[in-house]
Amino acid sequence: MASRAAQKRLTREYKTISENPPPYITAHPSESNILEWHYIITGPENTPYHGGQYWGTLMFPPNYPFAPPAIRMHTPSGRFQPSTRLCLSISDFHPRSFNPAWEVSTILIGLLSFMTSDEMTTGSVSATKAERKLYAARSRWWNSTGGGSHVKAGGKAAQKGNVKAGDGGAKFKSEWPDVDKENWEWMHEAKIDTATGNPISAAPSCGPQLGIAAGSGHQGQAVVDAVMQRRDDGRSWLSRNKLLAAGSAIFIYVLIARILGEGTS
C-alpha cells in the first residue's frame, strides 16, 4: 500500500506527465494500484526500434520517492529480456543511487536513452539491427494477442506487472483499451495472422506459374531460349534450316548453269 507521500507524489506526477508527456513516451498508473504504472515507448526514428510499440511497467515501492521502482519491459524488443527486472541506475537494483528529485518522466526518459544505446546490463540482450526491426514490426501484434496466446488463453490477465506471453493480451487490453482497439484494427487492415503475427499469404492463382518475377525480362527471355533449344534438339539440321538449304541449292544451280553456258559458247 502506498504511503501518503507516495500517493501524493504519484498523483501529481500523473497530472504532469498527462499534460506534458515526453517525446515517444506515454504512461499512467493502474486504476487498482497507484504504485503500478504502465508505459508505452514508441520506437524513435533512425533506430532499429522505429515504429515499435514497447509496453512495460514501473512497480514503485510504498516509500517512493525515497526508493526507485522496479523496471520491466514486457514487449520483446531484442534489447531487453521480456518481463525481466532491469538493472539500471534508476531502478530498484541501485536504491542508494536514486535521487528523490527524479520523477516518472525522468525514469522513462532514462530508460529510452539506455534502450537506444549499446550498453549492456542485467536484463539486456544482444541482437542484430535486423532482428530488432523484426521485433518492432511485430510489437503491436504481440501486445494485443499476448504473442498469439489469445487463441488458447481464457482472457485471464497476469497480475502485479509480471506480464508474459500467455495471457492472451488481457492485461494489455485492460490497461490500454484504446491502443488495443487500434492494434486490432491495424492487424485487420494489414492482414496479419493473429495466431502467428505474420502477414497472411495471398491466395494461390488457379493456373500453373513459371515462377518468374514480374519485370524480370532477361529471366523470361532465358526461359524462351531454353524452350526453343529443347524443341530444336529433337529436330534434324535440315528441318531446322530449310531456308538456308533452299537458298544454297538455288545458288549452286545458277552457278552450274552459268558454267555450262559459258562452256557451250
| pLDDT tens track, the chain, 265 positions | 899 999 999 999 999 999 999 999 999 999 999 999 999 999 999 999 999 999 999 999 999 999 999 999 999 999 999 999 999 999 999 999 999 999 999 999 999 999 999 999 999 999 999 999 999 999 999 999 999 888 775 545 444 444 655 788 999 999 999 999 999 999 999 999 999 999 997 555 555 544 434 444 444 444 445 444 544 555 555 555 555 555 666 656 555 656 666 555 5
What's the pLDDT at 220? Answer: 41
Q: For the domain 4-189, what is the CATH superfamily, name and number?
A: Ubiquitin Conjugating Enzyme (3.10.110.10)
What is the three-class DSSP state of 99? Answer: coil
At residue 255, the pLDDT reads: 59
pTM equals: 0.74
What pLDDT was estimated at residue 162?
A: 46
pLDDT at residue number 229: 54
pLDDT at residue 149, rounded to an integer:
87
Which of 87, 125, 137, 153 is an active site residue?
87
| Catalytic residue flag (residue 206) | no
Cβ 88 vs Cβ 56: under 8 Å:
no
Grid cell for residue 82: 521480456
Give the list of residues 6+ apart from residue 154 with CB closer than 8 angstroms, or none.
168
What is the residue-wise DSSP string for 33-81? EEEEEEEEEEPPTTSTTTT-EEEEEEE--TTTTSSPPEEEE-S--SSB-
> If DSSP codes are grouped into helix, strand and coil, which group holds residue 220?
helix
The reported pLDDT for the residue numbered 209 is 47
Q: What is the spatial distance between Cα 42 and Cα 134, in angstroms, rounded to a whole number?
A: 15
Q: Which three cell numbers stand for residue 227?
A: 524452350
Give the max Cα distance, the chain: 135
Identify the pLDDT of residue 152: 72
What per-residue confidence (pLDDT) applies to 73?
97
Q: Number of C-alpha atoms within 13 angstroms, CB side, residue 215?
A: 0
pLDDT given at position 36: 97
Instruction: Write down the pLDDT at residue 150.
Output: 84
